Amino acid sequence: MSTTKSARAVALATLIRVWRDGSYSNISLNNSFRSSDLSQTDRNFTTRLVYGTIQEKIYLEFQLQDLVKTKLKEDYLWPLLLMSAYQLLFMDKVPNRAVLNEANILAKQFGKPHSTGFKIVNGILRALLRRGRVLPQVTAPDYLVVKESMPVWLVQYLVDHWGAERAASILASVNEPAKNTVRISQLVSATEVVTALNDLGFAPCESQMTAQEVVLDHGGISDSELFKEGKLTIQDEAASLAVSAFNFTGDEEVLDACSAPGGKTIQLAEQLSAGRVTALDIHQNKLRLVQKSSQRMNVASKVKTQKMDARFAKEVFQPGQFDKILVDAPCSGLGLLRRKPEIRYNKSLADLTKLQKVQLAILNQVSSLLNDKGELVYSTCTFTVEEDEYVVQAFLSDNPQFKLQPFETGKIAAPNGMVKILPDEYGSDGFFIAKFVVRG
């Protein structure tokens, strides 16, 4: 197979890895970029192709399924057809002629010697152009499944819990491009950073959710000196709210029970003048990410990493040892559908119950490490009741010495001690936060 690194070749190779190996799209794409010399414009195009094709996979398969008249024997063919169909149906500024021509070139590059795959691709794509796009009837059970390219179980789950109209709104929202949000470090002047962002042409706008975040009008901030010097970091608005739910004095001992990749660990450390964050994670390689980010953001001296499954934390730490504990629990990640579109194909309804047991086990374990005046915050990047409200109910049932504590985080109030942010409310990630304290 050729290693030609055009934008479309990089995109196709990435898609093949994601679907063949089950790789995460963001990690696979970053690895692809490291081994190519694409310009920023080509990187943007490649990113759109990869995320868009994954996101619209069910929709694209519906468009192609009756046009494929032969068995596709080579593993690049179906990804190439989907990627090309995405360009034809979703990218108005890309001429159809260019899509067909580039698909022909890629088929010859990725195909085996003497392969006739390019003829198959050309024929199917021309048939798609002649016929145009199709959808099920609006009243058909699979209408939203195809229109929003979402698995049946997830569409039904959203309809069951929020009704058909809100479900349609949420589904449409997660298929929109993610915002470019950055959190400005608490250790620097926000005014100076905003001025610098304007000078660099990022046109920062104030977040609707928090004063520490700004929304940029385009990506590429990780190449800037502001990022490299740790004056800001890439973080979704909703994700930043979990740490803001605490009330800090500055000298606390803090436990971040599930810390990787470290965004919230850094945020915790920025709040401390004399305290320390103990950051746990089950994977050593992920803790290296926490250390690397802590160094970049100039808080490494306040962060101690420790490889550990938080479900066994009582075996190492003392009862009442911590003033603040954050459990940003492993979860289905369905609130991240906009940023990680492949999640919709990797999760099932059964996963929610399995994850609930893990989440509750972590909470039950680490809660005994909190002192009587401490604060415990539980958060997930998902919106399912099994992983959010049901976990809170079960935890309080198992631990009657705790109660929910009203709080304010960013510009959002949680008078009942819990807040759930759905993806269509602010155009952010979906997120859930609950805050507990020990009964007085």
Please identify every residue annotated as catalytic.
381
Residue 79: phi, psi to the nearest 5? -60, -40
Q: Could you tell me if 414 and 408 are in contact, meaning their C-beta atoms sit under 8 angstroms apart?
A: yes
Q: 3-class SS at 104?
A: helix
Long-range contacts at 36-40 (CB < 8 A, ≥ 24 apart): 36/5, 36/10, 37/5, 38/5, 38/7, 38/10, 40/220, 40/223
Residue 84, annotated ligand binder? no
Residue 328, annotated ligand binder? yes
Residue 309, annotated ligand binder? yes
204-232 burial code (b ≥16 CB/10 A, e <16):
beebebbebbbbbeebebeebebbeebbb
123-148 burial code (b ≥16 CB/10 A, e <16):
ebbeebeeeeeeeeeeeeeeebbbbb
Among 45, 126, 135, 116, which residue's Cα sits nearest to residue 81? 126
Please name the amino acid found at residue 148: E
Distance (Å, rounded) from C-alpha 260 to C-alpha 286?
6
What six digits make up the tokens of 399?
């631990």
Residue 281, annotated ligand binder? yes
Residue 261, annotated ligand binder? yes
Strands (E), 185-245: 205-206, 213-216, 232-234
Among 305, 299, 278, which residue's Cα sits nearest to residue 230? 299
DSSP annotation of 231: S
Residue 264, annotated ligand binder? yes
Residue 259, annotated ligand binder? yes
Distance (Å, rounded) from C-alpha 227 to C-alpha 232?
5
Q: Could you tell me if 132 and 67 are in contact, meaning their C-beta atoms sit under 8 angstroms apart?
A: no
What six digits make up the tokens of 13?
């190779």
Does residue 261 have a cis bond before it (omega within 30 degrees)?
yes
Residue 236, annotated ligand binder? no
**Binding-site sequence positions:** 258-264, 281, 309, 328
**Binding-site sequence positions for S-adenosyl-L-methionine:** 258-264, 281, 309, 328
